[in-house]
Structure 1
Amino acid sequence: MGSNEESRGKGSGGKGSRDRGNERSFWRELPVMVLLALGLALLIRTFLIQAFYIPSESMERTLLVGDRVLVNKLAYRLGEIQRGDVIVFNGADSWESEVVVPEPGSFAQRALQRVGELFGFSTVGEKDFIKRVIGLPGDRVQCCDEKDRILINGTPLEESSYIHPGDVPSQDPFNIVVPPGRVWVMGDHRSESADSRAHLSDPGNGTIPIDKVVGRAFMIVWPLDRLALLNRPEAYAEAGLAAPATPDLAENTAGTAALAGFAVGSAPVAAAVATVVPVVGTRRVLRRHRRRGERSPGRPHVDDSCRRGPHDHRSRRGPTRRPPRGPGSPRSTR
């Protein structure tokens, strides 16, 4: 009986040591998991998807102050910009910010801001702007006809479905031909948007270079009660202004991006964590099974013959054959 208690004590001690070993292994792997997640987040943010915070009213009613949107950076590498797209572009050194972004005071605040920008918590309005594409290269964009509608190549554009209620398409007249490699952009809140109309005297007559476009905003992910796709308005198709269909990753990535980043609007970090954690967890499970396999050869062999009943005649050696009877051996009787 004492030996049984001693063996049980050893078994429990062995299990406890294994648990402590697994815990130490987890803490050793945690920094690796964090570094992998941050590295993957940086790759996603740089090449695939980035989240932007909306600080101004220039895109109301489509985008409200405080919204967080996802921007697909592959959309225009695989396809072409189309009229009606909501885009983010870099306006540094050419456009003035529409909002005053206070500079962080302390070194820690500046460091946190830079880290946030690095991993997807960027703010539209400091150097990046978000507007709607109205005119493509070669388009003649005019304001306005007798019904206060903008004309694109002579075709009136009905914008009441997305511009801010009470606004007119434009209070400032203009008539330009969009140069090659550039687009004409406007905010949906026309009375509060300093868009292409405010830069008519700039080189390009207010248009922006296509190579400055960061990507297409395709989804509102925060707050959750405003979760929605940013589709192109039907007005462009109804007026015959829809561009030819081109490969566009925005709709294809909507479900994946929402799953990865809708909770906080930081798709790169969430997607990276969602990718790294299962990989590391799988590696731990495989290693645990490998250790068990290494221990199994040393286990004592258990003979199960004692478990068989009195009528169980199975044997690993096969059936026993009787020796042949000799010519004078007696027959057995039953």
Structure 2
Amino acid sequence: MQHRPGRRRGIWAIALLVFGVALVAGPMAYMFTRFVPVKQFSENMLPTLPVGSLLVMEKDHGGVRHGDVVTYDPAAWGYDGPFVGRVVALGGDHIAYATGDRTLTLNGKPLDEPYVRDGDAGAGGVAFAVSVPPGRMFVLGDNRGNSQDSRFHPETHRGTLPLAAVTGIDSGMHEESPLMVVLGLLLSAGVCLLPLSLGLGIASLVARRRRPAEVHGPVWGATRVDVP
């Protein structure tokens, strides 16, 4: 059976198109369903997060832990979010700061916070002592001298927020992380396959126009004349 000209190229074009779309759509769907990008516009997390930093926040997280950098909804404080902050205490903890101290205390012990700007966890000079209720958290910024956080809202559950207010946890992903590298390679491969499939498709159409299929066997309607 004689195949039409360009048929093989057409099959390859369709196969590469499907594969390319899958390579592009797969990583994008994975990123959009699991992560959300957040731009840091405030100075409250200096020096950890410079102004203008792009964070990749994990939406479907397994739970909030001590020290997590999170995005959260500050609606309980009367603000529009999201805000970015660090969870320093969770339900059942006692978090405190006394004026003049260089560190906070968590459950009576000095809290090591190497991420705090200039190493001064007491910058801002706001004294507090809070026992965090179950299911809630106490959130501070790393730039303690310039952060609108739990310290300034003692009228609302002693400044604590429900864990349900967390909208994302910093995944720690960046351009050089292994997962981002793999997703980037898959996406790039898909983008490269799309124009290749288009080129093969065009070549297939051109071949069909230029090379009509050969016909074997009798031609219907033809008249044979025998010359004596």
Amino acid at match of 1:89: Y
What per-residue deviation string (whole Å, max 9, x for no partner) do you get for residues 199-220 of structure 1? Answer: 1112x21111111212211336
Structure-2 residue corresponding to 1:54: 40
Structure-1 residue corresponding to 2:57: 71
Q: Is the 8 A contact 2:77 2:153 kept in 1?
A: no
| Distance in 1 separating the partners of 2:147 and 2:131 | 21
The number of equivalent residue pairs is 195
Structure-2 residue corresponding to 1:88: 71
Structure-2 residue corresponding to 1:212: 165
Structure-1 residue corresponding to 2:97: 143
- Could you tell me the percent identity over the aligned residues? 27
Structure-2 residue corresponding to 1:321: none
TM-score scaled by length of structure 1: 0.47
Residue 132 (1) aligns with residue 86 (2): yes
- Unaligned stretches of 5+ in structure 2? 203-212, 216-228
Cα root mean square deviation, aligned: 4.3
What per-residue deviation string (whole Å, max 9, x for no partner) do you get for residues 98-155 of structure 1? Answer: xxxxxxxxxxxxxxxxxxxxxxxxxxxx511111110010101111386432111101
Residue 44 (1) aligns with residue 20 (2): no
Q: CA deviation at 1:84?
A: 0.9
CA separation of 1:279/1:154 partners in 2, compared to 1, >3 Å: closer, same or farther? Answer: farther
Partner residue of 1:255 out of 164, 175, 178: 178
| Distance in 1 separating the partners of 2:182 and 2:162 | 32
Give SS of 2:138's match: strand
Give SS of 2:171's match: strand
- Unaligned stretches of 5+ in structure 1? 1-13, 97-125, 222-226, 229-253, 262-269, 289-297, 301-334
Alignment of 1:125-274 (within 5 A): 127-144=81-98, 147-159=101-113, 161-165=114-118, 167-170=120-123, 171-202=125-156, 204-219=157-172, 221=174, 254-257=177-180, 259-260=182-183, 273=187
Q: Is the helix fraction higher in 1 or 2?
A: 1
* Larger relative contact order (CA 8 Å, sep ≥ 6): 2
Give SS of 1:205's match: helix
Structure-2 residue corresponding to 1:114: none
| Distance in 2 separating the partners of 1:153 and 1:258 | 41
Query: Which entry has the higher C-alpha Rg, 1 or 2?
Result: 1
TM-score scaled by length of structure 2: 0.67
